[in-house]
Structure 1
Amino acid sequence: MPASTVTVRRGRKYDQVLKGAREVFLRDGFEGASVDDISRAAGVSKATLYSYFPDKRLLFMEMASTQCRMQADEALVTIDLSQPPQVVLPQVGRTFLGFLLSEMGQRVFRICVAESDRFPELGAEFYRCGPMRMHREVKRYLGEAQARGEIRVEDSGLAADQFTELCKADLWSKFVFGVQTSFSEAEIGRVVDGAVTTFLARYGARPD
């Protein structure tokens, strides 16, 4: 049965199981992670684990999507979306790269790529809860900034994608090809500041 058709059961040990799964998946990868190791790390029996997640793919997707949602929720709490783009976009860019280049983000991405041929739903779920959610929030914010006259954007969806791609300049290719896996705040800040400057040069409101 495809993992996407199985309903996750939530109960008092749900968080405990996810915590154990996160530890093992990020250490051993999807293929290397065993149910025995996950149940041991979670401190539950295999029967209890299977009662929550009868499919390992479902467990991985739930772990990855939960982490992505938590990251997005934290960002929405800390970023004041009523502020102008000069204030909001640098925060959005740093939050986006902070997760993408974090140990958690890097390992989840690599697992999704490694398993994409056999289990395409893994990558689709990560995209839905991570990049797609970021795209939706940035698009919504750009629409609001446009309504306030702070930017001039005809296609807020395209502009949202352009901004996130600008934020990945240089650093993302180094990560993907294994040239560099650790990035300093200064390196991230340099790229994000450049992305904001380029983006506002294209879309920033100008006096008529």
Structure 2
Amino acid sequence: MHDSILDQELSSALEDGIESAKRRQILEGARKVFLARGFDGASMGEIAKVAGVSKGTLYVYFDSKESLFEALTTEEKQGLAEVLFKLDAEDPDVRGVLRKLGLSYLRRMGKPEHISSIRMVMGAAEKFPRLGQAFYEAGPCQGIARLKSYFDRQVEAGRLSIEDTGVAAQHLLDLCVSGMLRRLLFSVGDPPTEDQIQKNVENALRVFFAAYGPDAPKQ
């Protein structure tokens, strides 16, 4: 009886692993097709072909191109937020923590494939607003929420002076990409160099701490 239960649990775990791998395989194929064709130009048939699965299998996992696109963008942005916004609230060097975040954030935002994904979502959002909302909630909103929580801890510790930590989180991220993200979205110039990234982040930190540092004027 005990061995039978173990066999069932092992079989279930194996099936879950196969299901997860197949889903990941489909999402990876979809990512390639969406980036190459855009949302409107992509077809479920081509996605199935690139992913190496049948259309029948594809529809078992995702019932429409919209649901597949939403799952892809949501998972990618959630994963990015988890990786970028790991902030040590106990580290007294707030500037150092935010410098590390700013550099990682801007390096990622400036990648051509990331710019392409933003354009793709913006192109699809007018026809399918839910896709734009899902992208925004999974990415920017998650990052801002994590940064807000970090700022709350720093205000409590007296390391920052902020009245609205949510607004301050948006300010910092906007300052980091200031003058860079917009031109990249319009395909103006080359991706930022490491020197340009570091200069942008240092400028952002200087403005941020002038407004929100522990010695900043009370708001």
TM-score scaled to structure 1, two decimals?
A: 0.88
Q: Deviations over 1:133-162 (max 9, x none)?
A: 111011111111111111111111111111
Q: Which has the larger radius of gyration?
A: 2
- 1:113 aligned residue (122, 142, 153): 122
Alignment partner of 1:73 out of 77, 82, 103: 82
TM-score (norm 2): 0.84
Measure, in 2, the Cα distance between the counterparts of 1:92 and 1:69: 16
Q: Would the aligned equivalents of 2:155 and 2:161 in 1 still touch at CA under 8 Å?
A: yes
Q: Which amino acid aligns with 1:29?
A: G
Q: What does 1:109-188 align with in structure 2 at a 5 Å threshold? A: 109-188=118-197
Distance in 1 of aligned mates of 2:137 and 2:59 = 25
Query: CA separation in 2, counterparts of 1:16 and 1:177?
Result: 31
Matched to 1:40, the amino acid is: K
Q: Which runs of 5+ in 1 are unaligned?
A: 1-9
Counterpart CA distance in 1 for 2:32 and 2:196 is 28
For structure 1, which segment, 66-75 or 38-47, has the greater mean C-alpha deviation from structure 2 after superposition?
66-75
Aligned residues: 198
Match of 1:93 in 2: 102
Q: Which residue of 1 aligns with 2:22?
A: 13
Q: What is the alpha-carbon root mean square deviation over aligned residues?
A: 1.9
Q: How many angstroms apart in 2 are the aligned matches of 1:131 and 1:76?
A: 11
Q: Deviations over 1:38-66 (max 9, x none)?
A: 11111111000011011101111111111
Deviation of residue 207 (structure 1)? 9.7
Match for 2:161: what amino acid? R
Partner of 1:62: 71
| 1:36 correspondence with 2:36 | no
1:82 aligned onto 2:90 = yes
Could you tell me how far apart the structure 2 residues matched to 1:157 and 1:74 are? 20
Q: Which runs of 5+ in 2 are unaligned?
A: 1-18
* SS in structure 1 at match of 2:161: coil
Identity %: 32
Distance 1:149 1:64, change over 3 A: same
User: Displaced runs of 4+ in structure 1, greater than 6 A?
Assistant: none
